[in-house]
Amino acid sequence: MYFYMSKNILFSFFVIFFFSCQKEDSSQIINQNPEENCTIAISEKINGGSILQFNSVHEVYQPNIYMHKKTGANWLAMSEIIRLKTDDFVNMNRPYEFRIPEYLELLNRVIPVVLNNNGIDYILLKPLTDFSYSTVEFWGDFYVETEEEWLEIENTYFELFDEVAKLSLEYPQIKMLSIGNELREFTKRRPQFFKGLILHLRENYPNIQLTYAANWDEYEGITFWEDLDFIGVNSYFPLVNKETPTVEEIKDAFQPIKNNLEDFSCFYNKPILFSEYGFRSIDFAAWKAWELEPFSVSNVNHEAQNNGYEGFYQTFWGEPWVAGGFFWEWEISFTEHVGGHNNGWQVSGKPAQEIIKKYYTKNVD
């Protein structure tokens, strides 16, 4: 196995190696009643939005991304995709290797631009680690067969998140890091690796808070919530199987989900952070999002998106155990008035941005 780590990182990797070789129990799921008196009380919501791609942002032309002005969001989740290199890459040092130098170059180029007169006060770094080049279409289904392969994966994954966390030393506005996103098989099969990674980040970067972004059907199986600051949930629950459900129908569908999340939050005594939430502007936007048609400028249904957001906020935003969250998603634009006529996730230029702004600025003077 090839290593090019500092002594400090190498030592920490040894700790992770030790944890990874322990017997792992992936069956732990909450099955106890929460304490009657839940003490979680978030005084200030995290009013955040997500941006997926930053490739168009550079030093020469520094756009105002308009997200704060249009929605009131003052937190930004930088959710750039980082992919594993494949066999067609030259100069690979290891069988599995993330494109870490390129990713760091992008972040160092973009973060100063984002913080320059854009109304963004705080940043969540949420790398979307993409393993889907292999035999799976969804990175949450990715796993490898042998211990040697797992250690190679963990090696490059550890290096990536150590380097990303290190950026918080240079940019104090980086207040939070997500240690993974929707990695169901990875987290289930290798929980001790993630516990070791958390331990390393706590010891070396105590200035940032930590979460993990679990898919809506994954969060109950995560076994390391007690080591994190927030229980991160990507809220894409299938709710109502109708073209345009009403706000009340969406709220009714959310109610059992809300009850379960509150119990879960109280059990761990950790607030729920909606690491992603949102609805497409399309028919059946509140149902099974993964089954919807590809993005286009046809079948646009703003009412379905609006009702989804309104139902979400009315259900969750007044709860003290909800830390806030990051809507999915905002599209970078180089002019203030752009976008809107598509059936994708973007709220940019759509009526939904006014609903977000209503809740994000409700308690702002």
Confidence of residue 92 (pLDDT cuts 50, 70, 90): low
The pLDDT tens digits for 313-339 are 999 999 999 999 999 999 987 677 677
Q: 108: how many CB neighbours lie within 10 A of its CB?
A: 12
The share of the chain scoring above pLDDT 90, in percent, equals 71
| Residue listed under structure tokens 């304490």 | 35
| DSSP β-ladder status, 209-215 and 128-130 | unpaired
Nearest by Cα to 270 from 231, 233, 232, 235: 231
- What does DSSP assign to residue 220? G
Both tokens assigned to 174: 């980086």
Please report the pLDDT score of residue 90 as a whole number: 54
How far is residue 317's CA from residue 313's CA, in Å, rounded to a whole number? 5
pLDDT tens digits for 209-259?
Answer: 999 999 999 999 999 999 999 999 999 999 999 999 999 999 999 999 999
pLDDT over 60 at 13, yes or no: no
Q: Is the pLDDT of residue 150 over 60?
A: yes
Residue ranges of the alpha helices (H) in the chain? 7-20, 67-71, 100-114, 147-170, 184-189, 191-204, 247-268, 302-316, 352-360
pLDDT for 88 beyond 90: no
Is CATH 3.20.20.80 correct for 42-360?
yes
- Per-residue burial over 321-332, b if 16 or more Cβ lie within 10 Å, else e, is bbbbbbbbbbbb
Residue 263 has pLDDT above 90, yes or no: yes
Query: Could you report the per-residue pLDDT of 99-146, keeping only the tens digit for each?
Result: 999 999 999 999 998 998 889 999 999 999 998 665 677 888 889 999
pTM of this structure = 0.89
Question: What does the pLDDT read at residue 132?
Answer: 67
CA-CA distance, 296 to 279, in Å (whole number)?
15
> Cα separation of 359 and 365, whole Å?
13
